[in-house]
Amino acid sequence: MIDCDVCVVGSGAGGGPIALTLAEAGYSVVVLEKGPWFTEQDFFKDEIACCRRNTYSRNLREEFHVVEEYDDKKGWIARPTYDSSWDFWNGNMVGGSSNLMSGFFHRLKPKDFRLLSEFGAIDGANIVDWPISYDELEPYYAKVEHEVGISGRVVNHPNQEPRSTEDFPFAATVEHPVASWFDRASERGGLYSIPVPRAILSRQANGRGGCQYSGYCGSYGCSSGAKGSSRAALLNRAVASGNCDIRANSHVFRLDSDERGRVVSANYYDENGAAAAINAELFVVACQAVETSRLLLLSRGPRHPQGLANNHGQVGKNLLFAAGGAGTGTFLYDKLDPEKAAQLKIRGPFVNRALQDWYYIDDEEMGRLKGGTIEFLFRHPNPIGRANRQKWESDRLLWGQPLKEKLKSHFRDAGYLRFETFSDWLPNDNCNVSLDADLKDKWDTPVARIKIGNHPHDLKVGRFLARKGYQMLKDMGADRASWSVSGKPPVNLIAGGCRFGTDPNKSVLDPDCRAHDVENLYVTDGSFMPTGGSVPYTWTIYANAFRVADTMLAELGGLRARSSLGESNDSRLGMVA
Amino acid sequence: MKQFDEGLQEDSSVNVSTGAGRLGRRTFLLQGGAAAATVAALAGLPYALRRELTRETSFVLFSTEQQNVVSAVQEHLFPNSPNSPGAADINAAAYLEWAITAPGISPDTRNTIVNGVGRLQDASRERFDVTLTGLNDGQSEQLLRYLADKTRWGRAWLSLMLYYIFEALLSDPVYGGNPNEIGWRWLQHQPGFPRPPADKIYGKLR
């Protein structure tokens, strides 16, 4: 018995486009999401709930990861995250971590699809070309601009990627006065100031409010619906179609497959902790990179003894993060003229500026290599986190009046502009996901073991870009500026593990993101990416998921008259005209 | 925005730099048994009821002596001054008690806090023959500085005590600290909006 046409595991940026496209086309879709279903009525600017406790993630004593890192003295060291407090859950709720993103949206560039061909092999890195081109994804980048809602302003610059439409469907969000400081400094330096597209509505549209400019965005859920989360932008519409059932608090622990190797059911624990199952014709896994690989590895079957889609041992390999560094510029109010100081104190609007002048580097010393994006933004306003960082003076704890003076000066005397650089995290044999041999979660299921190895090349590129970011802050008039580059990954920028490709021996998914050896299984989160490019991943994940949705639609037989979930047993795949 | 921070949710310095979460198990059993029972009893209660209980009894987590030590240490770490709030002004002691009895708090964190009070008392007796509340300001400073600079547990404990002072100073007043936005006003911090109503704070969102 079939419960629905399509079962989607995970409701974030990889799952939302599938659910919307197929539900609106008349197919019955069930989305299983392990987290709760929050709405705009549940999101507040509350640092405790948002960012100091695990409201949007899991209790690390119950559900955790094991992280393996390289120590120069001790070699590879594995440590469970309940011990380290290093939280790799990025937003377990309907809409996933897209609820909490900042929404800096950049497309990949055509050369990102041919990294190997364009820049050649690098020892110790598993660089490959993508099996599709930019041109194949471009219509879906354009589609995301409308479906998710991207605001911005196209300007000509040497690294502007080709576009099928002239400009964004939504005008740019309100820009902070500091953006003009940036523009002037860029002009002086002969650089191209790029207005950053945002997945944030600048005006009310599609039943969602426009941005309210509270000054808190990244890490927070959006209370107006302006942020283009999978939930606000896509899933609400999927549900409105009458064909999409979202089951929150439903944790999928295994996919069962039959003698033919096809997936037949998704087994999950429901909101009461009871085991349940969904049978479907097609299955989509989109649980974010780590948990997607983990679920496949946990799902052994008669034709998949090493885990689903893992007959060539590729699941979990070539995990990606975003490489790069960051820096901060301190602008002392009393060193600025009063007008500029007043400008800097304005809270709410966005800086929305980036540099891509070094997306490709051709440097005398460095040679020709792939570079990246430098994104400029204000320091996050979360005061508890900021205060907590002031308690250290070098390696010494501060307290008493010296601490209070430092706090007062930090908060009252200066504004802070930051930059973050984004560059390729080169895929390598030391960065992957496997099942931990010993430790299990509260469901008695082996947890994911995340091995984090970075390639030295990443640090080289990161340092190059960070120095450029640092120089920009100085050129803008920062009294003090600093930069740093680390091999530690940002946990919210994660992809790979189930790379797509044409060779089943070297990839998990085919170019349509269908598992090579499982004909009714697709993976549509960032896992498919064989290389990550030099931008945040979310726009690309959305675009690719819309692309795969069209493939699935074609497989299912194209548009169909509206059906309801109650009728789905009679209108299943194969019975469609 | 890239999220690099380890231990974003609580105080990364504790586990990352010292591993203190694992240090106190035995000490906790010896010194904190009663407190542990109280914590366990409180942990399952709804926020409003727990607040009511704790308000009526002032503290239920710590003994009177421990309460006095906690308050004295907090005031030492974050003293009042003519133009800025001190620990008492931001309800730091009551906030700490709420924070470490709230659902979802790591037992390691809770144990580190509770055990630390006992260890501090031991250290004070060892060096000065009296408990912390019997020390003058200079002696307190000498003892706390020694513990922060020379002992792993002391460093972790004081780091955590400071962290919860910052929460009391700068969290939304709905949680019981930062009364009348005194911390925000002092640091000229502009909060975001919408602000959390009492029925949608941490522990009530699900």
Structure tokens at A212: 């309210």
- At residue B38, does pLDDT exceed 90? no
Going by pLDDT thresholds of 50, 70 and 90, the confidence category of residue A560 is confident
Residue B197, number of CB atoms within 10 A of its CB? 12
With contacts defined as CB-CB under 8 Å, which chain B residues touch A54? 9, 104
Chain B positions touching A220 (Cβ under 8 A) are 192
DSSP codes of every residue in A499-567: -B-S-TTT-SB-TTSBBTT-TTEEE-SGGG-SS--SS-SHHHHHHHHHHHHHHHHHHHTS------GGG
Position B46 scores a pLDDT of: 41
Residues of B in contact with A384 (CB under 8 A): 166-167, 170-171
Residue A299 has pLDDT above 90, yes or no: yes
pLDDT in tens, B142-151: 999 999 999 9
Could you say which of B148, B188, B201 has the minimum Cβ distance to residue A412? B188
Q: Are A500 and A131 in contact (CB under 8 A)?
A: yes
The rounded distance, in Å, linking the Cα atoms of A355 and A376 is: 8
Tokens of B149: 């600079």
Looking at the complex, report in whole angstroms how far the Cα of residue A576 sits from the nearest Cα belonging to chain B.
39
Residue B98 has pLDDT above 80, yes or no: yes
Q: Give the least confident one: A83-92, A115-124, A425-434, B43-52.
A: B43-52
CB A20 within 8 A of CB A238: yes
Q: Minimal Cα distance from A223: which residue of B?
A: B194
Distant-in-sequence, close-in-space partners of A427: CB < 8 Å, separation ≥ 6? A125, A126, A127, A128, A318, A319, A320, A496, A499, A530, A531
- pLDDT for A482 equals 98
pLDDT band at B109 (very low <50, low <70, confident <90, very high): confident
Interface of B with A in 111-140 (CB under 8 A): none
The reply to whether ipTM tops 0.90 is yes
DSSP structural state of residue A304: B
Residue range A324-352: mean pLDDT, rounded: 97
Q: What is the distance between the alpha carbons of residues B103 and B123, in angstroms, rounded to a whole number?
A: 31
* Mean pLDDT, residues B76-103: 95
In angstroms, rounded to a whole number, what is the distance separating the alpha carbons of residues A187 and A475?
A: 11
Q: Which backbone phi and psi does B56 adopt, to 5 degrees?
A: -65, -35
Q: Is the pLDDT of residue B27 over 60?
A: no
Mean pLDDT of all residues in B54-61: 46
Q: What is the model's pLDDT at position B102?
A: 87
| pLDDT band with cut points at 50, 70 and 90 for residue B4 | low
The answer to whether A407 contacts B187, with C-beta atoms less than 8 Å apart, is: yes
Per-residue pLDDT at B24: 26
pLDDT score for B2:
73
Say how far apart CA A525 and CA A13 lie, in whole Å: 7
Question: Considering CB atoms only, which of B6, B194, B197 is closest to A85?
Answer: B6
pLDDT value at position B50?
42
Residue B57: which pLDDT band, with cuts at 50, 70 and 90?
Answer: very low
Mean pLDDT of A325-339: 97
Let me know how long chain A is: 577
- Encode pLDDT of A180-235 as tens digits: 999 999 999 999 999 999 999 999 999 999 999 999 999 999 999 999 999 999 99
* Nearest-angstrom CA–CA distance, A167 and A108: 17
Are B1 and A102 a contacting pair at CB < 8 A?
yes
For residue A442 the two structure tokens come to 């509260």
The pLDDT of residue B10 is above 60: no
Mean pLDDT of chain A: 95
pLDDT at A562 over 70: no
Distance CA A568, CA A571 (A): 5
Residues 141-160 of B with CB under 8 A from A: 141, 144, 148-149, 155, 158-159
The angle subtended at Cα A247 by Cα A241 and Cα A252, nearest 5°, is 130
Chain A's closest residue to B170, CA to CA, is A384
